[in-house]
Amino acid sequence: MKHFFRTDAQPSVAARFLLSILLFVLLIASYLTGSYYRHLENPQDNVMPTVSQMLDGVKRSAFERDRNGDLRLWVDTFASACRFGMALGVIFLAIPLGVGMGLFPYVEALFYRFLVFFDKIPALSVLPILFIIFGLDELSKIALILIGVFPTVALEAHLRARAIPQEQLHKAHTLGASEHEIAYRIVLPQIFPKMLDTIRLNLKAAMLLLIAGESLAATVGLGYRIFVVRRYVAMDIIIPYVLWMTVLLFLTDWFIQWVIRTRYAWLDK
């Protein structure tokens, strides 16, 4: 056993590969076993759909038009992506705000406490309030994501901007940089790739809030679809949708990492 816990262990390629898929295999195997036994007892069971049932669910939601003539998966993905994208767009503005807070003491004095407070509000708990104030449309869903993620990103940018050594700012001053040049040509480019990482790590929270908002009031969207088909226990749609969302998030995460790696290769992480 000690052999497995040595810090200088060198697993073979095969061992590494097998171990990395072991947990997936166990999970899928136990699901399939459970599904099999449920189907033995009740052939029409849809609480744990079989793989073929789920594939059929994918076919129906992605390639067959529903009662309203929509290809559900794409319509939902597009709607959710729009909301997510708009929220993300506004969240990017948190970066310059954080930089401003980190560099300009007056700006910090104005925003810091307020953002720290807002950061601590559990976003889901204000969901009903948001819907009452902003109505049931897109605005409240995007606002929910913003309340959850914007303060975090702004505060992180603030921290990183403050971490830039003062000597750099002095040097810039002596070289004739104006205040706003310091912010946007010296500090911001340095911290931007790290901020991309921060945003990447907050994607999960943003997605969670998006789904919560859609489950409350919507006519379309990934979260909406899951909650509506729940009313007739359509796990053969829900599980594929969950997997699809996981894949989308995975791809977005990977894409951001790729952007950092290629465009900001100078960053030694």
Helix H or strand E encompassing 225: helix 222-229
Q: How far is the CB of 206 from another protein (least distance, A)?
A: 20
Q: Which stretch binds another protein (CB under 8 A): 103-111, 126-134, 159-167, 189-197?
A: 126-134
By CB under 8 A, the residues from 29 to 88 that bind another protein are 29-30, 33-34, 37, 40-47, 56, 60, 66-68
Structural contact between residues 121 and 62, judged by C-beta atoms closer than 8 angstroms: no
Stretch that binds another protein, among 96-104, 111-119, 131-139, 200-208 (CB under 8 A): 131-139
CA distance 81 to 83: 5
Among 93, 116, 133, 251, binds another protein (CB under 8 A): 133
Q: Does residue 227 touch another protein according to CB under 8 A? A: yes
Q: Which of residues 136, 139, 186, 208 is near another protein by CB under 8 A?
A: 136
**Two tokens, residue 147:** 């309340």
Q: Based on the shown chain and the rule CB under 8 A, indicate whether residue 1 belongs to the binding site for another protein.
A: yes
- Contacts (CB under 8 A) with another protein, residues 147-176: none
Among 109, 121, 233, 247, binds another protein (CB under 8 A): 233
State the amino acid at position 107 in one-letter form. Answer: V
Residue 170: partners with Cβ closer than 8 Å, 6 or more residues away? none
Amino acid at the residue 182: I
Shortest Å, Cβ 18 to another protein = 8
Nearest to 199 by CA among 87, 107, 79: 87
Torsions phi, psi for 96 (to 5 deg):
-60, -35
Cα atoms in the 13 Å half-sphere on the side-chain side of 8: 0
Residue 28 binding another protein, by CB under 8 A: no
Radius of gyration of the chain (CA): 24
d(CA 243, CA 54): 11
CB of 228 to another protein, least distance (A): 5
Footprint of another protein on this chain (CB under 8 A)? Answer: 1, 4, 15, 22, 26, 29-30, 33-34, 37, 40-47, 56, 60, 66-68, 127-128, 131-133, 135-136, 215-219, 224, 227-228, 230-234
